[in-house]
A = this chain, B = another copy of it.
Amino acid sequence: MKVLIIGGAGMIGRKLAERLATDGALDGKAISSLTLYDVVEGAVPPGAKMQVKLLTGDLPADGEARRMIADRPDVIFHLAAIVSGEAEQDFDKGYRINLDGTRNLLEAVRHAGHKPRFVFASSIAVFGAPFPNEIGDEFFNTPLTSYGTQKNICELLVSDYSRKGFVDGISIRLPTICVRPGKPNKAASGFFSNIMREPLAGQEAVLPVSETVTHWHASPRAAVGFMVHAATMDLDKVGPRRALTMPGRAVTVGEQIAALKRVAGDKVVARIRREPDPFIEKIVAGWPSRFAADRALALGFKPDASFEEIIRIHIEDELGGRVA
């Protein structure tokens, strides 16, 4: 079994590679080769027993998709994308990487003719306000960003190429990943992770919105679990509707903080500083916050057990079990 991860140097790509290296197999079949493709060089996962190839390149460039799938991978995870803010600022770059890159890839796979499993990382950015209180599986897609538009278009392509039998594809819409490891970033959604990660590491963090804001979260570990399940599940059961909203945990910021207090105590929670930012409040108000991901649940995708569990996963996976 040969596996290709496009976007293999990113946060989820790296964690997925580590999981596959640890498991050594996918769907009960030993992984003989793991290729990590990205714009920057990825890392060989610790303890990997299979052959690991690190490729770098410009995804939508001519011939690049063919090069990437030269060894006819059985499973392709496509996680590479220009993020929302950049796709909004650089219209051409967003369409080139997020749409043309994916389409070239699907075309290369179609012409290779071996019909691999194709797992596409989509996003809840395919939805646009106004929303019902809870977004069901049959609610329509009206993206309000170029990024969301590009993800939506790729979902449609994955479905059509699957229907035609060119790939065996599925698109999974990831919740916001929390607790996101690394440095605080300037993404408008950054604070959802910052107010957990920084206090747990002994640092202060700023909360720019009210505690009543609700959002839809999944841990990095759960996201990797979604990927692995999407790569191994029986897609005949999914039928032609190949885009699925993944099950997250809908919690208010207040519930996030209460969970942090239960897991790590008052001292940690006291490191959150409230500094309302009307600009961020307004952006966040336009985001979807709560989904009924019934189809994904019925198809066996496993959410985090609770927001406390999300925090504990961060402490285990990123902090070696220790809170500052």
Footprint of B on A, CB under 8 Å? Answer: 91, 128, 137-144, 146, 149, 152-153, 156-157, 159-160, 163-164, 240-241
Contacts and interface: CB of A to CB of B under 8 A. Distances in A.
Contact of A142 (B146, B149, B157, B240): B240
Contact of A160 (B149, B157, B240, B241): B149
A138 B138 CA distance: 8
A63 to B, nearest CB: 18
A138 B141 contact: no
Contacts of A144: 163, 240
Given A128-B240, A128-B241, 8 more contacts: A140-B140, A140-B141, A142-B159, A142-B240, A143-B159, A149-B159, A153-B153, A156-B156
B153 A156 contact: yes
Given A140-B141, A141-B140, A156-B153, A146 B128 contact: no
A142 B156 CA distance: 8
Given A144-B163, A163-B144, A149 B156 contact: yes
A90 B68 CA distance: 26
Contacts of A91: 164
A164 B142 contact: no
A5 to B, nearest CB: 26
Contact of A139 (B140, B163, B240): B140
Task: Kindly name the residue among A137, A142, A163 whose own CB sees the greatest number of chain B CB atoms within 10 A.
Answer: A142
10 contacts: A128-B241, A137-B140, A138-B139, A141-B141, A142-B159, A144-B240, A149-B156, A149-B157, A149-B160, A153-B156
Nearest to A151: B156
Contacts of A153: 153, 156-157
A91 to B, nearest CB: 7
Contacts of A160: 143, 146, 149
A3 to B, nearest CB: 27
A156 B139 CA distance: 16
Contacts of A159: 142-143, 149
Query: 7 smallest A-B Cβ distances: which pairs?
Result: A149-B160, A140-B140, A142-B241, A153-B153, A138-B140, A149-B156, A152-B156
A268 B195 CA distance: 75
A128 B162 CA distance: 15
A88 B211 CA distance: 51
Nearest to A132: B138
Contacts of A140: 137-141
A19 B163 CA distance: 40
Contact of A143 (B149, B152, B156, B164): B156
A175 to B, nearest CB: 19
Contacts of A138: 139-140
A148 to B, nearest CB: 9
A293 B146 CA distance: 27
Contacts of A152: 156
Contacts of A141: 140-141, 156
A138 B141 CA distance: 8
A143 B144 CA distance: 21
